[in-house]
Amino acid sequence: MTTDFFALNGRVVPAAEATISVLDLGFLRGVGAFETLRTYGGHPHALGDHLRRLWESAAAFGIAPFFSEADVRRLLAEIRTRSGHAELRANFVVSPGEHTTGVFGAGAPTWVIIARDVHAPPESFYEQGVTAVTFDATRHLPTLKTTNYLVGKTGLALAEKAGAHEAFYVTAEGYVTEGVTSNVLIVQGKRLMTPVVDCLPGITKGGVRPLAEAAGLVWYECNLTRDDLYTADEVWITSAVRELMPVVAVDGKRIHDGRVGPWAKRLRADYRAHCIAEALRDAQRAGMV
């Protein structure tokens, strides 16, 4: 039997004991940064990249790096041992800490690792594809990964109503930027295209690029519209836990023939193999194997 354990300010505790103060600015003001990753073979994938992006986001509210990659590896190894989970999905959350003075004054920052069973999407999502919707909105601080999901909540509500898996932001200028919880890419012939503006620099998306280029696709960062999605040969979303997931319909419009395309099948397998090898290699370098 498995039990969840989380890490609170560098100490592993049962999930029920991982509580923060009501004065924490993450609670009071919604000020926080977060990252999500998963493990392969028990080892975190792209941990260095995720921590670099976490600190870039946290810098927006004045927090400099205060824990290390080694700290995280140690805590995740302990959580995995105590919880019994074979693989973990880990969410890192950093806030300025407890409110002290003024509006945003705080003492020591708070950091939490919420680590549960990875609970990867069902294989049917990759074999049959998923659907998505679009909605008119722009995410606040789009190049940073913050805990503010208020705008995205609107899109996810629309997706839920439509029975869709994801919602894509569309700017006032008509450009698709990203999913609420993912990056978006499209294939058109031998071109692999992805939005260039107002979106988070995706770690999974970045990891897919060299594999796609090695397979013969040409990478383009450009402005994409709804029509580009509707007329694509393939549409994908990428994220740490979902890896590369095919989208077979957007706004009720079938993508190409409505089936998962050959590039998605090939590159999903290539990317997964890459993640497994990279996670092991990084763990070996860190002395964890």
Say whether pLDDT at 32 is over 90: yes
Predicted local distance difference test score (pLDDT) of residue 1? 59
Stated as kind and residue range, the H or E segment containing 208 is helix 203-215
Predicted local distance difference test score (pLDDT) of residue 117? 97
- Residue pair 233/261 in contact by the 8 Å Cβ criterion: yes
Mean predicted lDDT score pLDDT of the chain? 97
Name the residue with tokens 């290539």.
270
Q: What is the CA radius of gyration of the chain?
A: 19
Q: How many residues does the chain have?
A: 289
Interatomic CA distance for residues 212 and 92, integer angstroms: 29
Helix, strand, or coil (residue 67)? coil
- Find, among 161, 158, 175, the residue nearest to 226 by Cα: 175
Interatomic CA distance for residues 230 and 85, integer angstroms: 40
In CATH, what is the architecture of 5-117?
2-Layer Sandwich (3.30)
Say whether pLDDT at 259 is over 80: yes
Average pLDDT of the segment spanning 128-151 = 95
Interatomic CA distance for residues 92 and 145, integer angstroms: 11
Average pLDDT of the segment spanning 16-33 = 96
CA torsion sign for 193, 168, 131, 129 is positive
Predicted local distance difference test score (pLDDT) of residue 197? 82
- In 3-state terms the chain splits into helix, strand, coil percentages (rounded to 5) of 35, 30, 35
Q: What angle do CA 59, 43, 58 make, to 5 degrees?
A: 5
Question: For the chain, where do the domains classified as CATH 3.20.10.10 start and end?
Answer: 123-264+272-276
Which residues make beta-bridge pairs with 58? none
Interatomic CA distance for residues 233 and 222, integer angstroms: 17
Nearest 10 degrees: Cα torsion 259, 261, 266, 268: -70
Q: Indicate the DSSP class of residue 109.
A: P
The side-by-side arrangement of strands in the sheet containing 43-44 is 11-14, 5-8, 110-117, 88-95, 33-40, 43-44
Predicted local distance difference test score (pLDDT) of residue 280? 98
Could you report the per-residue pLDDT of 239-248, keeping only the tens digit for each? 999 999 999 9
Could you report the per-residue pLDDT of 166-205, keeping only the tens digit for each? 999 999 999 999 999 999 999 999 999 999 888 999 999 9
Could you report the per-residue pLDDT of 68-84, keeping only the tens digit for each? 999 999 999 999 999 99
Question: For the chain, where do the domains classified as CATH 3.30.470.10 start and end?
Answer: 5-117
Task: Tell me the residue ranges of DSSP E strands in the chain.
Answer: 5-8, 11-14, 33-40, 43-44, 88-95, 110-117, 130-136, 166-170, 176-179, 183-188, 191-195, 218-222, 234-239, 243-250, 253-254
Phi, psi at 176, each rounded to 5°: -75, 135
Q: How confident is the model at residue 111 (pLDDT cuts 50, 70, 90)?
A: very high
Interatomic CA distance for residues 236 and 178, integer angstroms: 11
Interatomic CA distance for residues 45 and 41, integer angstroms: 10
Q: What is the CATH number of domain 123-264+272-276?
A: 3.20.10.10
Name the residue with tokens 């990056």.
183
* 66 token code pair: 């205060």
Average pLDDT of the segment spanning 136-148 = 93
Say whether pLDDT at 110 is over 70: yes
